[in-house]
Chain A
Amino acid sequence: MIEDATLTKVLGRAMATGAEFAEVFAEDKRSSSAHLDDGKVEELSSGRDRGAGIRVVAGDTTGYAHTADITESGLLAAAEAAAAAARGGGGGARVVALGARHDADRGYRYEILPEDVAKATKVELLVKANDVARSSGSAITQVSASYADSRKRILVANSDGLLATDDSVRTLFSVSCVASADTGMQTGRQSIGHTMGFELFDRYDVEELAREAAERAITKLLARPAPSGQMPVVIGSGGGGVLFHEACGHGLEADLIAKGASVFKGRVGELVASPMVTLVDDGTMAREWGCFGIDDEGNAAQRNVLIQDGVLTDYMWDYLRARKEGRSSSGNGRRQSYQHLPMVRMTNTYLLASDGDPDDIIASTDHGVFVKHLGGGQVNTATGDFVFGMTEAYLIENGEITEPLREGNLIGNGPEVLQLIDAVGDDFAMGPPGTCGKDGQGVPVGDGVPTLRVSSLTIGGTAA
C-alpha cells in the first residue's frame, strides 16, 4: 500500500515538531452487498474506501489528520496537519527507523475470497432465503434478506519502529421477516457473520436461518405483553452476550476508567461478580466476528481474562492509556476506519461455561422470564445502569417455559447484576454478530454465553 521509505519520511515529518509518538494507519477496503426485499433483488452495491490517518502525540495532546490521498505528498501534508494539531514544542527532526514488516498471522486461512465469487451466486442465496422464509407459514407477509462482504487490508507504522499489516475478510448474511395476523404484525430476524470468506455458507445453511427468522416472527403473533417489574431472568445459550457487553464490558475500558467514568474504577483484585463468573475478551478467537490479526494500532490480538471466578483481574487497554500507566496495550485499540482515532474497544467478549445443567436452571426457576435471544443494549458506564432488548422471550411458570412474550427492554445496574448471577450452564455458544457503537464509531464484535440466570432483573413490559 505504502513504501517503507515513504513511511519513514512521513513519520519523520510528523515528529518534526518534537512529538513523542507518531503513527500512520492506512487502509484499503473493498466491500460489496446485495439486498432482497418485497420479493425483488433491489440493489447490489460495491464500495471502495482507501486512505490513511496520521496520529501525533505530544504530551497529553493527540493530533489527528486523515486523507484519501495516499501518495507521498498527500501523506506528508496530513503529517504536517496532525503535527500542528498536536502542538508539540520545537524539538527538531527525528529519524524513525522502521523494523521489518510483519504480516499478521491469524492462525487460519480464508478459503474462498469474496472477490472470487460470482455475484449471481451471492444473489442465489438471497432468493433461496426468501423462498424458504415465505414457505415457512402463511402468516409470513414480508421478507428481506441481505448479504454483505468486505476485505480490508490495513498497515500500521509508528515511531517506535513498528510496521505491521493485516488482511480482514468478513461475510455477513441476515434474514428479516414480518408475520401478520388479527393480533397485528411481528418481526423475526436472524443473522450470521464471521471473519471468513464465502466458506461461511459451507458451514451455515441460509435456509435454516430463514426458517428460524420466520418462526420467530410467527411465534410472537401469539405473544402476550411482557411483565413489568423485577423477577428472575434466564438467558439462553448463545442468545447473546450483550448482557456482559453492557453490564461490565464497557465499564472495563481503560479510557473510561482513566476519566473516572466507570463504576469499576479502582476495583481490580476485588470480587465484583458472582464466583461463577469468568469473563474473557478474546481478539484471537479464530473466525469470530470480532477477531483480527493485529488491532488498529498494530498490536497482535490477545486473549484477556477480565474477571476470573468473580474477581476483577484487568481492564482493556489501548496504546495511549497503556503508555500513561507504563504497561503494554492489551490489543484492544480499534477504530472504525482511517477517518477515526483508535480507542479502547472490546473484541469477542464471553462468559466461560460452568457445570450447570441448562434444563435444571429452567426447572429450578419458579416464576420468571426466559430470554432466548437478546437484541442490542446500551450502558451508562458512570452509573452502571444498562438496558438490553429481548427479541425472543418466554414466560417461565413453575419451572417450565410457557407463553411467548412481546418485545421489550430489561434494565439493571452492572455491578449489582453481576453479583446476582446464581446459575451458569455447561452449554456455551457464541451469539450472532454485532456492531458495537462508542463515541460515534462502530466496530464488529462478537459475544457468547452459556445458559445463565440472574436472580432479579427489571423487565420493562406492561403486564402486571
Chain B
Amino acid sequence: MTAATSGDLLDLVDKVVGWAGAGEQIEAVAVRGTDTEIRVYDGEIESLSSAQSQGVGIRVVHDGRQGFAYAATFEPTILAEALAEARDNATFATVDEFQLLAEPDGVPVPELDLYRASLTTCPTDRKIDLALELERAVVALDPRIVGFESTDYADTRFEGAIASTTGIRNAGAETSAFLSTYVMAGHHDETRTGFGFSVGREPADLDPERAAADAVSRATRLLGAAKPPSERLTVVLDPWVTAQFLGIIGSILDGESVLKGRSLFADRLGEVVASPLLTLIDDPTDPRAFTATDTDGEGLACRRNVLLEDGVLRQYLHNAYTARRAGTVSTGSAVRGSFKGLPGVGVQAVSLLPGTATQAELIASVPNGVLVQDVAGLHSGVNPVSGDFSTGADGLRIRHGEVAEPLAEFTLGSTLQRMLLDVSAVGADLEWLPMSASGVSLVIHDVTVSGT
C-alpha cells in the first residue's frame, strides 16, 4: 500500500489513537471501499450496483485486558461512542499478561504495486462490456451451453489505515477486478455446470476468453457423468482443488490453534509431517498473489514464511499475541476479516513450491485414478482438529494414464495427516487464484472414493 493515497484515513486513526488515556493502548483501523458489481444475463444488464462503504475498528488494551468495538461510519460522535464501548468491553476481559498491542519490529514494509488508478477512471460501460463479452464468448464456444447461472464483473478500490499508541502507523490502497461466469451445459435431460474466472488489479488485466474457455470445458466435459463405484485409488487434484486443500492445511499451522491445543501439528516442529515433495510457503509479499499485501492486520510488515520444507514442519504463523505467548516474534501473520473484528492469525497467500511435471504428465503416470475437477462441502466434511477429511467431488476417470469418462456425485475420504504423507507428485502448473492460496496439480494415492 502506498501512504500517499489515504491521508484522510491516517488523520482519522491518528485522531482516535490520540484519545488514549494514561496506561491505555489503542489501535484504530479505518477502511474505505468503493465497489462496483455488474451482473449481466442474456445480453442485458441484470443489476448494477455501486457503493462506498467505510468503517473504523477500535481495540483498547488496558492492564492486560482487551476490548473491541466498531462503527460502520466516520461520524465523530459515533466513533467516540465506539471507543467508550471498547473501553467498557475491556473491563470484562480476563487479565492476560501477553495481551498487548503489536510493537514496530523494524522489518521494512515491502514495496508492492497493488494500486491501479485506471480502475476508477475506467468507464462503467467498459466494465459492462467485459461481462457481456464473457457471456458471448461462452455461447460461441459450444452449442451444448444451455444457460447461465450468473456472469459477473466486480471491482474494488480499497483504502486502509492503521495506527496505534505503540507507534504502528501505516496506510495504503489497492485495487482488484474480477470477472466470473457459472454456465450450464445440457444434453437431453442432463445438466452440468462449470465456472470460469479471471482476476487482476484493473479491468485491462481481465481475460474473458480464458474465463469462458474454462467454464465451458468444466461444464461440457462432465456431460454423461455417472456415479463411480466405491474404491480406494489415486487422485490428481486440479490446482483449484489443491488451493482449497492448502487453505485447510494452513489452519493447522497457525500459532493460535497450536497454543490452544487445536492443531494436529502442535509440538511437531522439526518433524516430518508430509511427503518430502512438499514445501509450503506463505508469502503475501509476492505481488502475483490475489491476496498480496504489504502489512498484516496489525500493521507489521508482511514477510515470506516457510511452513513446510521438504516435508519437515519448520514454523507456525504468529501474530503479536500468539508470538508473545509462544516466546517468539510475530511472523507478520495477523489476519483481519474486516474492520468489524479483532485480528486473528493465519495464512495470507500460501502456495506449494511447484514441481516439474505438467498435469498431462502427472495423469500419464496414473494407471487407475480420478482427476478431481471440483469439490463441494469442505466446510461440512473436513474437521481440521481431528483431521477427518470427506468432501463431495466431480471429475474424470483416469484409465491407463489417460482421462476417460466423467464422474459425479461421489466423495473423497481420507485424513489430512495421511493425505499430506500420501502426496506422490507435485505439478509445475502453479495458478494464482482468487483466494488466500494458489494451486498446483497434486497427485495423492490411497484416497477413498465413495460412490455406489
Q: Which residues of A contact B (CB under 8 A)?
A: 34, 37-51, 53, 59-68, 78, 81, 85-87, 119-120, 123, 141-142, 178, 180, 184-187, 220, 225-226, 228-230, 256, 259-261, 263, 339, 341, 375-378, 380, 382-383, 385-389, 406-413, 439, 458-462
Q: Which residues of B contact A (CB under 8 A)?
A: 41, 44-54, 66-73, 78, 81-82, 85-86, 88-90, 92-94, 96, 146-150, 184, 191-193, 227, 230, 232, 259-262, 264, 340-342, 376-377, 379-381, 383, 385-388, 390-392, 394, 408-414, 448-452
Query: In the bound complex, what is the Cα–Cα distance between A77 and B330 (angstroms)?
Result: 44
Name the prevailing secondary structure of the B interface residues: strand
- Given B48, B150, B392, which contacts A86 in the complex, CB threshold below 8 Å? B48
Known: A45-B89, A62-B47, A261-B149. A458 touches B410 (CB 8 A): yes
- Given B49, B66, B413, B451, which contacts A408 in the complex, CB threshold below 8 Å? B413
Residues of chain A contacted by B149 (CB below 8 angstroms): 256, 259, 261, 382
Cβ contact within 8 Å between A383 and B191: yes
Cβ contact within 8 Å between B261 and A61: no
- Given B232, B380, B448, B449, which contacts A409 in the complex, CB threshold below 8 Å? B380
Residues of chain B contacted by A187 (CB below 8 angstroms): 383, 385-386
Cβ contact within 8 Å between B70 and A48: yes
Query: In the bound complex, what is the Cα–Cα distance between A165 and B391 (angstroms)?
Result: 42
Report the minimum CB–CB distance from B276 to chain A (whole Å): 24
Residues of chain A contacted by B450 (CB below 8 angstroms): 228-229, 411, 458-461
- Given B66, B72, B386, B408, which contacts A407 in the complex, CB threshold below 8 Å? B386
Name the prevailing secondary structure of the A interface residues: strand
- Given B70, B376, B390, which contacts A45 in the complex, CB threshold below 8 Å? B70
Among A180, A259, A377, A408, find the residue whose CB has the most chain B CB atoms closer than 10 A. A408
Cβ contact within 8 Å between A47 and B409: no
Closest to A34 in B: B92
Cβ contact within 8 Å between A389 and B380: yes
Cβ contact within 8 Å between B386 and A378: no
Cβ contact within 8 Å between A339 and B51: yes
Known: A119-B89, A341-B47, A382-B184. A184 touches B387 (CB 8 A): yes
Cβ contact within 8 Å between A61 and B89: no
Report the minimum CB–CB distance from B157 to chain A (whole Å): 15
Report the minimum CB–CB distance from B321 to chain A (whole Å): 10
Cβ contact within 8 Å between A409 and B47: no
Report the minimum CB–CB distance from B139 to chain A (whole Å): 14
Q: How many A-B residue pairs have CB under 8 A?
A: 256
Cβ contact within 8 Å between B408 and A67: no
Closest 5 CB pairs of A and B: A460-B411, A389-B380, A409-B381, A387-B377, A44-B89
Given contacts A51-B72, A411-B377, 7 further A-B contacts (CB under 8 A): A43-B67, A44-B67, A87-B45, A383-B192, A387-B411, A410-B411, A462-B413
Report the minimum CB–CB distance from B118 to chain A (whole Å): 21
Cβ contact within 8 Å between A48 and B48: no
Cβ contact within 8 Å between B94 and A408: no
Cβ contact within 8 Å between A65 and B49: yes
Report the minimum CB–CB distance from B410 to chain A (whole Å): 7
Report the minimum CB–CB distance from A327 to chain B (whole Å): 20
Query: In the bound complex, what is the Cα–Cα distance between A382 and B193 (angstroms)?
Result: 7
Residues of chain B contacted by A61 (CB below 8 angstroms): 44-48
- Given B51, B68, B88, B413, which contacts A66 in the complex, CB threshold below 8 Å? B51
Residues of chain A contacted by B96 (CB below 8 angstroms): 40, 42
Report the minimum CB–CB distance from A55 to chain B (whole Å): 9
Closest to A40 in B: B94
Cβ contact within 8 Å between B92 and A259: no
Query: In the bound complex, what is the Cα–Cα distance between A259 and B341 (angstroms)?
Result: 37
27 of the cross-chain contacts (CB-CB < 8 Å) are: A37-B260, A38-B259, A38-B260, A41-B93, A42-B96, A43-B93, A44-B68, A44-B89, A46-B86, A47-B70, A47-B72, A48-B72, A51-B72, A61-B46, A62-B48, A66-B49, A85-B49, A87-B48, A187-B383, A228-B448, A378-B392, A385-B394, A387-B392, A407-B383, A460-B390, A460-B391, A460-B412
Residues of chain B contacted by A263 (CB below 8 angstroms): 191
Query: In the bound complex, what is the Cα–Cα distance between A380 and B376 (angstroms)?
Result: 9
Cβ contact within 8 Å between A408 and B45: no
Residues of chain A contacted by B379 (CB below 8 angstroms): 376, 378, 389
Query: In the bound complex, what is the Cα–Cα distance between A47 and B49 (angstroms)?
Result: 25
Known: A44-B68, A378-B377, A385-B408. A407 touches B48 (CB 8 A): no
Among A45, A220, A389, find the residue whose CB has the most chain B CB atoms closer than 10 A. A45
Cβ contact within 8 Å between B44 and A387: no
Query: In the bound complex, what is the Cα–Cα distance between A41 and B26 (angstroms)?
Result: 19
Report the minimum CB–CB distance from A369 to chain B (whole Å): 12
Closest to A57 in B: B47
Closest to B86 in A: A46
Report the minimum CB–CB distance from B50 to chain A (whole Å): 6
- Given A34, A180, A260, A389, which contacts B184 in the complex, CB threshold below 8 Å? A260
Cβ contact within 8 Å between B71 and A48: yes
Query: In the bound complex, what is the Cα–Cα distance between A386 and B44 (angstroms)?
Result: 31
Residues of chain A contacted by B94 (CB below 8 angstroms): 39-42
Residues of chain A contacted by B191 (CB below 8 angstroms): 263, 382-383
